């Protein structure tokens, strides 16, 4: 026991001082947490809860007041041209809403119309798709669309969007 009493305890090792970086990082973290919490509260109080809504699309048929309607279900078509530029367009056309069989055929051919449009623009260059050629483009697409239809014909095409991104 005498040996234990004679042993001296080692003095405690002093702790190194805390670098100034840690309190700064802690305050930045706290500020970030406050901003996130505040933004969440603001969004819930003033904007209400988020609603999962489907992507915006055109209605299948837009009424024009008479028996004629506008078929706009093709949606926005994005495709590449021959020279790797992007074409973005939306195609619509009038049809007789009273002809139920033709209306059903149009709805059944939506994917065919989209594929025909993509094929047409993939074979064109940007030089051939300028503003002066819109009538030619519409006529060519109209002929291609009518070639796959059996129960009626489309008389005119309209572009609600037509953009070329080079």
Tens digit of each residue's pLDDT, the chain (166 residues): 555 555 667 777 777 776 788 888 889 999 999 999 998 888 878 775 555 544 444 444 444 445 688 998 899 999 999 988 899 999 999 998 888 999 999 999 999 999 999 999 999 888 888 878 888 999 999 999 999 999 999 999 998 888 888 8
Give the helix, strand, coil percentages of the chain, each rounded to 5. Answer: 45, 20, 35
Beta strands in the chain (DSSP E): 61-63, 68-71, 76-80, 86-96, 158-165
Q: What is the pLDDT of residue 11?
A: 74
Output the CA torsion 68→74→78→79 (10° steps).
-100
Here the tokens at position 120 are 């047409």
Partners of 63 in beta bridges = 69
The whole-model pTM stands at 0.59
Given a contact cutoff of 8 angstroms between Cβ atoms, the answer to whether 51 and 42 are in contact is no
Length in residues, the chain:
166
Separation CA 113–CA 102 (nearest Å) = 15
Q: What is the pLDDT of residue 63?
A: 47
Given a contact cutoff of 8 angstroms between Cβ atoms, the answer to whether 157 and 72 are in contact is no
């Amino acid at each position: 026991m005498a040996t234990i009493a004679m042993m001296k305890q080692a003095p405690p090792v002093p702790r190194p001082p805390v670098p100034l970086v840690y309190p700064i990082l802690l305050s930045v973290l706290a500020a970030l947490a406050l901003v996130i919490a505040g933004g969440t509260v603001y969004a819930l109080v003033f904007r209400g809860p988020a609603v999962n809504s489907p992507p915006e699309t055109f209605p299948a048929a837009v009424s024009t007041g008479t028996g004629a309607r506008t078929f706009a279900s093709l949606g926005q078509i994005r495709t590449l041209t021959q020279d790797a530029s992007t074409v973005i367009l939306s195609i619509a056309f009038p049809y007789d809403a009273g002809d139920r069989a033709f209306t059903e055929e149009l709805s059944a051919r939506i994917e065919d119309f989209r594929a025909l449009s993509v094929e047409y623009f993939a074979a064109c260059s940007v030089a051939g798709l300028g503003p002066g050629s819109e009538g030619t483009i519409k006529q060519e697409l109209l002929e291609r669309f009518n070639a796959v239809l059996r129960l009626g014909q489309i008389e005119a095409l309209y572009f609600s969007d037509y953009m070329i991104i080079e």
